[in-house]
Structure 1
């Protein structure tokens, strides 16, 4: 008999309820004013909020967004924009944990999200080889897990993952996938994941920021927030 890990159980459940979805969105200080009450009334139930970048930047709107999202009844969490060229994965995970990226099993806090995407400077992979990038991600993911008992969500696109990790397949058994693809279908997933947890399908959410779709029902989303 094959015994499934807790994450594998979550992913299998998600796959079995593919027709059930929950709307949400992700934001940063670029969305200075968000009407969380309206978003909740419209049916959105989760929001992911930028907390940190590298080891020197904290988003100035994080605390305000997080408090207002909580008061409006949202399941919410923070995200960290990775800067792999500037410091180690462990250093950035610890900075994230100290500035909004923590987790508690309260049913309303998502594990933190590691945002891995093309470098704003134009150097797609931050000057790292595929093996160095995989090591950096492992450093971040394992540091976060050691501190919280949860693996962080990983946000990326299939194209970035193929280019910058060599399409490494070792993270699908740990971190839930937040896939970025602005199209009518999610398309091919990065190696290692057979199912996605959240699909960012547009950069124009009706409530501000990017539009997200959770691949499951509300009870499953709450389970992830509880860590069970």
Structure 2
């Protein structure tokens, strides 16, 4: 296994200013940004930041914050708003909703299935305690969610613990929210922020993102 690289951050409109030149200069390779939530909220900073990040050669991803509503309808709203191309990483943010009904496992399955139907690929699943509580120790693997890569949130320990059996391993690990968890917490051009380790090397990260290697190029 290649080294676990620390080159991905995630952002939303809550981060009011971002300097993508400084972000790239600090060694960040990929940015995953909030696009939508529920059935009607869209992050107004998403499109402009996508263009800014890509002009600087950064990998771009989009996530949807799930709520307790029809999963297929949420997927339609997300895809229409985020407008992902083949090199946009797509993710369902599956966690407890502090302002209303929380998405259920069945609604998450609806979302994942609908995204695959529209795009031809499965999204990643971001979660922490919620997915551990619901799928921890559960076998056999969930027939739908097992198609997703796992982006796990855990702000303690040298590595993610208690990965549900539905997932063979973790792919991304959000190890800090910019305050809690091990260092480093900061990124130039952003400050304290969510940072993520990838369970592999740069070539594997680009493969996850859908970036095709140029003919003759060597993996790193």
TM-score by length of 2: 0.82
SS in 1 for 2:186: coil
Counterpart-to-counterpart distance in 2, 1:44 and 1:213: 11
SS in 2 for 1:37: helix
Higher helix fraction (1 or 2): 1
Counterpart-to-counterpart distance in 1, 2:118 and 2:76: 9
Counterpart-to-counterpart distance in 2, 1:82 and 1:172: 14
2:136 aligned with 1:162: no
C-alpha deviations, 1:29-64, integer Å up to 9, x for none?
011211111111111100100000011100111112
Superposition pairs of residues 206-221 of structure 1, within 5 angstroms:
206-207=186-187, 208=190, 209-221=193-205
2:163 aligned with 1:181: no
Aligned residue among 119, 123, 144 for 1:152: 123
Instruction: Indicate the residue corresponding to 2:91 in structure 1.
Output: 113
In the TM superposition, residue 175 of structure 1 has moved relative to its aligned partner by 0.3
Aligned residue among 21, 29, 49 for 1:45: 29
Counterpart-to-counterpart distance in 2, 1:165 and 1:189: 9
Could you tell me whether the CA contact under 8 Å between 1:24 and 1:47 is conserved in 2? yes
Aligned residue among 61, 66, 69 for 1:77: 61
Unaligned stretches of 5+ residues in structure 2? 179-184, 213-220
Could you tell me whether the CA contact under 8 Å between 1:78 and 1:101 is conserved in 2? no
Instruction: Indicate the residue corresponding to 2:216 in structure 1.
Output: none
TM-score by length of 1: 0.79
Output the aligned Cα RMSD: 2.1
C-alpha deviations, 1:162-213, integer Å up to 9, x for none?
3345765315630000000011322221231231110000011423331111
SS in 1 for 2:95: coil
Instruction: Indicate the residue corresponding to 2:74 in structure 1.
Output: 92
Unaligned stretches of 5+ residues in structure 1? 1-15
Number of positions where the alignment pairs a residue of Structure 1 with one of Structure 2: 198
Instruction: Show structure 1 runs of 4+ deviating over 2 A.
Output: 162-169
Could you tell me whether the CA contact under 8 Å between 1:40 and 1:74 is conserved in 2? yes
In the TM superposition, residue 101 of structure 1 has moved relative to its aligned partner by 5.1
2:174 aligned with 1:190: no
* Higher RCO (C-alpha 8 Å, min separation 6): 1
Counterpart-to-counterpart distance in 2, 1:117 and 1:45: 25
Could you tell me whether the CA contact under 8 Å between 1:24 and 1:213 is conserved in 2? yes
Quickly say closer, same or farther: Cα 1:25–1:143, change in 2 above 3 A: same
